Amino acid sequence: MDIEHHYSAHMAETALLNTLKECYPAGPTLYQLAPIDQLHIGGIKASEKLLQQLEQTQPRRILEIGSGAGGLMRMINSRFSAEVTGIDITHRFNTLNRALTVLTDNSAAPVITCDAQQLPFADNRFDCIILQHSLLNIPDTGRCLQECLRVLDGNGSLLLHEVLEGPHSARMTYPVPWARSADQSHLITFDTLSTLLERSGFQLSTAENWSEEALQWRQRQADKEKHSEKSPAAPPVSPIQILGEAFKQMGPNVITNLSEGAVEVWQLSCTATL
Ligand SMILES: C[S@@+](CC[C@H](N)C(=O)[O-])C[C@H]1O[C@@H](n2cnc3c(N)ncnc32)[C@H](O)[C@@H]1O
């Protein structure tokens, strides 16, 4: 199954948009959209951590690779005056991203359907690139990083919030939110990523292993999901409307994979040196 199919096959965008319009007639807040547009471990809290890095560097032209349903793009748009562009290989995510932006008071930002391994931009087009849980699906990490370097200005920054291969990768259990089976998951170790970054022309500035917080966050989500089955106060939208019923198994598998060291979650910041 190709990666577009993984993300599109169970996407119930019409039902999702109708529910949002009905439940939030004045438009949903970014927090109310988070269950379906922050599709990474750590949710909106992890996106806040990325925004703290942007506050330090104040980039003007930001590219998000693998922008999905666009939660991070809308957060950036609502807080920074920078120009934000998203790209994603899953066309239906891009359509959903635009439709969700229309429901909020965010201004529209360009979203392009393309492959991160072949970016349709001129050299030096951006001064910051962000990948949040996107490298994990990209077969050729080195090629993607070379493309990032090409479209980044000299001294531009690359911010990564990614799932990496842990020390016990043989214990990996599927499905997980980014892959129903091993052929869709392209995890590499922190050491391999560091080497590829250096070879591609990036200097690593900060690297934080966020696995313990990620595990605690996922456990809290699991508790909320269990109680929300019976609660009228449960969020009206859920990742199940994007990933299908298999999400009920994907969430617990993330806990198992983090607990057993099959995967790790890292946040890295790098600077283009070439
Ligand atoms: C786990 S989702 C994360 C989405 C979003 N970053 C978020 O955190 O909510 C991974 C995203 O990467 C996109 N993706 C996977 N492979 C890609 C590629 N080669 N080029 C561009 N996007 C890709 C998928 O379509 C999906 O939207």
Ligand 1 within 6 A of CB of 71:
yes
CA 224 – ligand 1 centroid, Å: 25
The pLDDT value given to residue 233: 77
Of the candidates 71, 128, 135, the one whose C-alpha atom is nearest the C-alpha of residue 103 is: 71
Q: Tokens representing 248?
A: 């009920």
In the block, residue with structure tokens 């970016």: 119
Of 191, 189, 178, the C-alpha closest to 254 is 178
Residue 149: both structure tokens together? 């370097």
- Bridge partner residues of 61 (DSSP): 83
pLDDT reading at 153 higher than 80: yes
Note the pLDDT of residue 105. 81
3-state secondary structure (DSSP) of residue 205: strand
Place of tokens 């809308």: 74
Confidence of residue 1 (pLDDT cuts 50, 70, 90): low
What domains sit in the chain, N to C, each tagged with a CATH number?
Answer: 3-272 (3.40.50.150)
Number of CB atoms found within 10 A of residue 214's CB: 25
**Dmax over Cα atoms in the chain, in whole Å?**
55
229 — phi, psi (to 5°)? -55, -35
Burial class from Cβ neighbours inside 10 Å (0-12, 13-18, 19+) for residue 26 reads exposed
Choose one of 100, 137, 144 to mutate for the ligand 1 pocket test, by most ligand atoms within 8 angstroms of C-beta: 137
Residue 83: per-residue pLDDT: 96
Q: Is 90 touching ligand 1 by the criterion CB < 6 Å?
A: yes
Cβ(40) – ligand 1 distance below 6 Å:
yes
pLDDT at 107 > cutoff 90: no
Across the range 196-220, mean pLDDT stands at 96
Nearest residue (CA) to ligand 1, atom 15: 137
Q: Is 132 in the pocket of ligand 1 (CB under 6 A)?
A: yes
Mutate to test the pocket of ligand 1, among 64, 74, 89, 242 (most ligand atoms within 8 A of CB): 89
Q: DSSP letters along 244-263, please?
A: -TTHHHHHHHHHHHHHTTSE
- The DSSP bridge partners found for residue 138 are none
* Distance separating alpha carbons of residues 265 and 42, to the nearest angstrom: 9
Q: Is the CB of 239 under 6 A from ligand 1?
A: no
CB 202 within 8 A of CB 273: yes
DSSP-based three-state secondary structure for 155:
strand
Q: What is the mean pLDDT of residues 24-39?
A: 96
Q: Is 213 helix (H, G, I), strand (E, B) or coil?
A: helix
Ligand 1 mean position, distance from CA 137 (Å): 7
Backbone angles phi, psi at 19, to 5 degrees: -60, -45
Which residue, 222, 209, 213, 216, is CA-closest to 250? 222
pLDDT at 230 over 70: no
- The proportion of the chain whose per-residue pLDDT surpasses 90, expressed as a percent, equals 91
pLDDT tops 90 at residue 223: no
Q: How far, in Å, is the centroid of ligand 1 from the Cα of 25?
A: 29
The pLDDT assigned to 263 comes to 98
Judge contact between 129 and 82, C-beta under 8 A: no
**Rounded-to-integer distance, Cα 4 and Cα 151, Å:** 24
Relative to the CA of 40, which ligand 1 atom is closest?
A: 8
